[in-house]
Amino acid sequence: MRAALSSSGYEAVTIEGLAEAAGVSKQTIYRWWPSKAAILGEALLEGSLPLVDLPMTDDLAADLKAMFAVQGQDAETIALARALIAVTATDPELGARLNERLAAPIREWTAQRLARGVASGEVRADVDAAVVADQLIALGSYGALLGVPLGQERADALSDLVLRGISR
């Protein structure tokens, strides 16, 4: 499924193509899954996910810039994110489970990084890490929705914007 997504995108993936790649009939696929969204959802829920190395240094600005820069920097990650958006739109329950799994590392990183920022005096104590994490995820998702990586210039501008909002 990931190979098909990376090479041609979610829209181009078909049940017929998946059946052919698996060496089974289309009916066999439909016996187990009602749609390609369900197949992708199960694959993402049960399979391994690409590891994203989120920075944790003493420089909050640099960490935010690096975090934005790594979001969707390769075709596979962009294809997976776009597929996740499509799955969420067609199956909200499955989408919620997938979003929780895929967003968990960013939520955890944001909470830890902002706690460090509060302790060092860089971040206001009243900043809600869950709200900031939602915004970081949304900004990355927007880039995926467009099908393009954020790029370093955009990553830097987004980092500066977030910092202005949370800085002490």
At 20-57, the pLDDT tens digits run 888 999 899 889 888 877 787 777 777 766 666 788 99
58: its two tokens: 């003493």
pLDDT tens-digit map of 63-106: 998 888 777 666 777 777 777 788 888 888 888 888 888 788 88
Quick one: pLDDT at residue 8? 64
Query: What is the C-alpha to C-alpha distance for residues 153 and 102, in angstroms, rounded to an integer?
Result: 25
User: Which DSSP string do the residues of 93-157 spell out, in sequence order?
Assistant: HHHHHHHHHHHHHHHHHHHHHHHHHHHHTSB-TT--HHHHHHHHHHHHHHHHHHTS---HHHHHH
Answer yes or no: are the C-beta atoms of 98 and 141 closer than 8 Å.
no
pTM, full prediction: 0.73
